[in-house]
Amino acid sequence: MEIYVLVKQVPDPEAIIKVKSDLELEIENKYFTSFFDEIAVEAGLKLKEKFGGKVTVLTLDNRRVDALRRGISMGADEAVQIADPAFEGSDQFAVARTLAAYLKDKPFDLILTGRQAMDDDAGIVGPGVAECLGIPHVHSIISLEVDVQGREAKVTREVENGKEILTCPLPALFTCQKGLNSPRIPQVMNVMKAMKAQIKKVDLASLGLGPADVGSQALRVKVQKYLPPPKRPPVKMIKEDFPENVKTLVKLLREEAKVI
């Protein structure tokens, strides 16, 4: 099977993120692979182990290739970075358009990616790529079986109060949800391989796209303003004795905190 996995490097949960200005974030230089994308890589590797073939990890990022190295360390065969100064400021639609432009001439059976990136939580790129390529797409799958001969996949996804089982002709794109698998911890031999791996680089021109197709010129979703989370309010001490203190606590939980 020819499998492509779309991956993204996102700020580490431990990284310090500050709102620098209305439209700019200051992010500490700590990145890791978006968790849902790791699930997608694992799903691709499991299919490769069963049916043979090749897993390629693909990212669009001008600066970082952490997620590609992570993919190789887990067992992916190839890694491709799409990078070009014109991508600066691209929204999710431009990213989807670009990834699809790279994939459109490639022979693939399956494209996998995370259900959403763990930084912007948008969940747009996966379905966007499928739309651009004109292939079927199922979102947030928690199981995946492939019938190679019949060129068909059977997937499960969670719906309200239950599960939905779907079949889908290949080639298709699936976004992966927690529960599909537990991503493997890479073996050090593969980590070393990933550290030395040559990453193939692709630029905008080679994809047949122009500057108007990506970056700030092609924005369909605009950030209006970043807001930091509200600061923790001061601790309120209830100084009354029992049972008045309980009554006051219940009142505060109901009227101020609004949690009951």
Residues near another protein, by CB under 8 A: 12, 31-32, 65-66, 69-70, 73, 185-189, 191-192, 194-196, 234-235
In the complex, the smallest distance separating the C-beta of residue 232 from another protein, rounded to whole angstroms, is 9
CB of 123 or CB of 183, closer to another protein: 183
Check if the beta carbon of residue 178 is closer than 8 Å to that of residue 39: yes
CB of 35 or CB of 226, closer to another protein: 35
CB of 56 or CB of 73, closer to another protein: 73
In the complex, the smallest distance separating the C-beta of residue 186 from another protein, rounded to whole angstroms, is 6
Q: What's the CA gap between 221 and 228, in Å, rounded?
A: 20
Check if the beta carbon of residue 12 is closer than 8 Å to that of residue 64: no
In the complex, the smallest distance separating the C-beta of residue 195 from another protein, rounded to whole angstroms, is 4
CB of 70 or CB of 157, closer to another protein: 70
Of how many residues is the chain composed? 260
In the complex, the smallest distance separating the C-beta of residue 190 from another protein, rounded to whole angstroms, is 9
In the complex, the smallest distance separating the C-beta of residue 59 from another protein, rounded to whole angstroms, is 14
Give the strand order in the sheet containing 137-147: 162-169, 152-159, 137-147, 172-176, 110-114, 2-6, 54-60, 78-82, 200-202
Q: What's the CA gap between 140 and 176, in Å, rounded?
A: 5
To which residue do tokens 């190295």 refer? 69
CB of 32 or CB of 226, closer to another protein: 32
> At 148, phi and psi to the nearest 5?
-65, -45
Q: What's the CA gap between 180 and 209, in Å, rounded?
A: 35
